[in-house]
């Protein structure tokens, strides 16, 4: 097999693994395939597929601007390839976004439900419109192959005439959303690390996108030249090297100048994980390319030039990953909870990239993307080739390669399921997170899984409103009063077991025999009840009522009058059902509350306290004695 066939074979294998993971993701959800949490909701897919993907596709508008606007006609030979790369890049962004969205079938809502105050709204619309422009820009390349079809020839003629307005529109749209991606992070000054957060982050994003676009075009040119055994486009690479060197200087000046001007220079030599990430990013994205491109002897070597370009691409993509999640302060400070993508997340992204690369190879082999279309690597040989040690002719090379690609895709698809945890699938991605007791006194911090996201519940305030204890503490453990929610609703997102069958029958527990609770014959004090507890099977048994032994199990003021099942709701579901249910009842029965508090059932009515809590407890820092210090936690009592 030649180089391009080997490359395609590897890409089809990656695509096979990614396809298996994709099926798993859409059937079982995000929890099975990602390491994302409420603490780290943005991960590898957002940082690489979306933010990195948009930046990687910047070569389209950069080369188009140089070629059509600034009159740099020496770049014309690669303009079509750059536009194709941008087009496939934006398609890959759209596909990657479908995996990250919890409800991907609602992606069309952006078109109908407008929120012009949101940077994400502007990014979404610009990406959609720019993808449309790229489609119109590249369509003439496809239509050139069919000059004898009148309708297609007319469409080609129209699109060719409006190519300059399309290029200008594409540059405008790309400029807008490349910078607006940075605008998303202006809203999180207390979440993003000071070395990355900046009031001019939209400008930094735009400059880095231009730099990345130039480097990406160089990587694409040199990679395809090697795969198809073409002479490198040295005269174009020299020009791109010159422009890229200028952009490295501009990007570095803005990046370091901004950090020093904001007074965040102290973090440049801090002994912290964020500082290490920063210098790793700068070394890859700036220092390595700058050294190679600045030294003529090195930059004239195609190998060193490739290293410089690939290093620049990797460094800016790494920057997007850092901004998109790795350097968020909750990640950097939560030791043991640091987000790292799962192998399935990585393979989904690799699969999207592989699909885009295979599409790129298809277009350059079948349409005039380059000035000279490469020779078909799978063209029939004049002499029948022998493909194996048995000297058996298996058919034309193209057919053999298709068979190999299909076989390896199916094999990779099948084997990858063996690597997906059956236990994780059974849990459907929901971890058995045990719940902790609420903290506080007059105000309770309800944060069962200790992820710093909960509700500051005004306990005394609700008592003063006449809400009795039994309204919330609706069942007591033996010998206890006002039993806490966490005692029975013991798991954050999974059902709990308030009865604990194994404990009752264990010699280390209640040490009860089966017949003390179960009776084959129905007698007074026994009833048929559906039991599903711990390891016991789901059976209809004659069960003695627990109230016979535990006299004060249900408080007199409880809303629950009869226990029908000891399988409890998850902690999250139980509290939502109780609080929202009570608020809904108040809105129906109290006209004054309905007027003064119409949003009583909205999430923000309770969870607005979370932002205040996170600010005061977690990220409320101040600069004192040349150090950033965290104020004490007033909730930890």
Domains of the chain (ranges, CATH numbers): 34-341 (1.20.1630.10), 431-467+602-637 (no CATH), 475-568 (no CATH)
Tens-digit pLDDT profile for residues 296-320: 888 889 999 999 999 999 999 999 9
Answer for the pair 157, 225: CB distance below 8 angstroms, yes or no.
no
Secondary structure in 3-state letters for 197-236: CCCCHHHHHHHHHHHHHHHHHHHHHHHHHHHCCCCCCHHH
- pLDDT at residue 578 in the model: 86
3 state SS of 444: strand
Which secondary structure element, helix H or strand E, spans residue 497, and what is its range?
strand 496-497
3 state SS of 530: strand
**Regions in the chain scoring below 70 on pLDDT:** 1, 38-39, 329-338, 372-397, 421-431, 452-453, 519-543, 547-548, 608-637
The CA distance from 82 to 64, in Å, is 8
Residue 47: left if φ>0, alpha if ψ -120 to 50, beta else—which one? alpha
- pLDDT at residue 488 in the model: 85
The CA distance from 392 to 211, in Å, is 51
Positive or negative torsion for Cα 198, 201, 207, 212: positive
Which secondary structure element, helix H or strand E, spans residue 38, and what is its range?
none
The CA distance from 627 to 272, in Å, is 13
Angle, in degrees to the nearest 10, between helices 119-143 and 163-183: 150
């Amino acid at each position: 097999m030649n180089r391009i066939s080997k490359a395609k074979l590897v890409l089809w294998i990656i695509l096979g693994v990614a396809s298996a993971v994709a099926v798993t993701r859409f059937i079982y959800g995000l929890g099975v395939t990602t390491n994302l949490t409420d603490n780290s909701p943005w991960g590898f897919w957002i940082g690489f597929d979306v933010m990195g993907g948009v930046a990687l596709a910047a070569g389209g508008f950069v080369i188009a601007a140089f070629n059509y606007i600034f009159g740099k006609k020496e770049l014309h030979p690669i303009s079509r390839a750059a536009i194709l790369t941008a087009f496939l890049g934006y398609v890959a962004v759209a596909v990657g976004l479908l995996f990250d969205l919890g409800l991907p079938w609602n992606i069309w809502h952006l078109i109908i439900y407008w929120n012009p105050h949101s940077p994400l709204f502007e990014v979404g619309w610009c990406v959609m419109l720019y993808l449309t422009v790229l489609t119109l820009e590249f369509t003439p390349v496809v239509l050139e192959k069919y000059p004898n079809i009148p309708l297609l020839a007319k469409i080609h003629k129209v699109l060719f005439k409006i190519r300059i307005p399309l290029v200008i529109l594409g540059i405008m749209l790309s400029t807008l959303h490349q910078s607006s991606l940075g605008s998303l992070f202006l809203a999180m000054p207390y979440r993003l690390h000071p070395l990355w957060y900046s009031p001019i982050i939209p400008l930094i994003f735009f400059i880095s996108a231009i730099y990345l676009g130039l480097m990406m075009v160089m990587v694409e040119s040199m990679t395809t030249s090697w795969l198809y055994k073409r002479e490198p486009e040295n005269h174009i690479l020299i020009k791109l090297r010159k422009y890229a060197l200028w952009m490295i200087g501009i990007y570095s000046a803005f990046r370091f100048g901004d950090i020093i001007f904001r007074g965040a220079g102290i973090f440049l030599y801090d002994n912290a994980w964020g500082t290490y990430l920063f210098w790793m990013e700068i070394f890859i994205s700036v220092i390595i390319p700058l050294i190679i491109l600045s030294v003529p002897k090195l930059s004239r070597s195609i190998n060193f030039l490739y290293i410089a370009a690939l290093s620049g691409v990797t460094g800016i993509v790494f920057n997007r990953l850092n901004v998109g999640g790795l350097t968020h302060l909750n990640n950097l400070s939560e030791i043991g909870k640091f987000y790292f993508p799962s192998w399935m997340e990585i393979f989904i992204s690799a699969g999207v990239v592989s699909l885009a690369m295979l599409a790129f190879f298809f277009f350059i082999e079948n349409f005039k993307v380059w000035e000279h279309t490469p020779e078909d690597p799978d063209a029939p040989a004049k002499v029948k080739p022998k493909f194996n040690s048995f000297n058996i002719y298996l058919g034309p090379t193209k057919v053999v390669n298709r068979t190999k690609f299909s076989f390896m895709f199916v094999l990779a698809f099948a084997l990858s399921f063996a690597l997906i945890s059956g236990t994780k699938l059974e849990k459907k991605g929901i971890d058995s997170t045990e719940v902790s007791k609420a903290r506080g006194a007059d105000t309770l911090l309800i944060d069962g899984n200790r992820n710093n996201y909960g509700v500051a519940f005004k306990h005394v305030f609700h008592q003063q409103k006449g809400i009795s204890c039994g309204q919330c503490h609706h069942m007591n453990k033996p010998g206890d009063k006002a039993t806490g929610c966490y005692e029975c609703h013991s798991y954050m997102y999974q059902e709990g077991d308030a009865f604990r069958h194994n404990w009752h029958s264990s010699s280390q527990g209640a040490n009860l025999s089966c017949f003390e609770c179960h009776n084959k014959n129905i007698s007074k004090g026994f009833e048929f009840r559906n039991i599903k507890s711990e390891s016991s099977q789901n059976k209809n048994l004659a069960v003695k009522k627990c109230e016979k032994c535990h006299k004060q199990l249900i408080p007199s003021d409880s809303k629950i009058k009869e226990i029908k099942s000891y399988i409890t709701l998850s902690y999250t579901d139980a509290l939502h059902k109780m609080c929202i249910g009570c608020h809904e009842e108040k809105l129906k029965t109290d006209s004054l509350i309905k007027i003064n508090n119409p949003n009583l059932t909205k999430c923000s009515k309770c969870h607005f306290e979370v932002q205040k809590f996170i600010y005061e407890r977690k990220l409320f820092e101040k600069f004192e004695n040349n150090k950033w210090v965290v104020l004490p936690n007033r909730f930890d009592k």
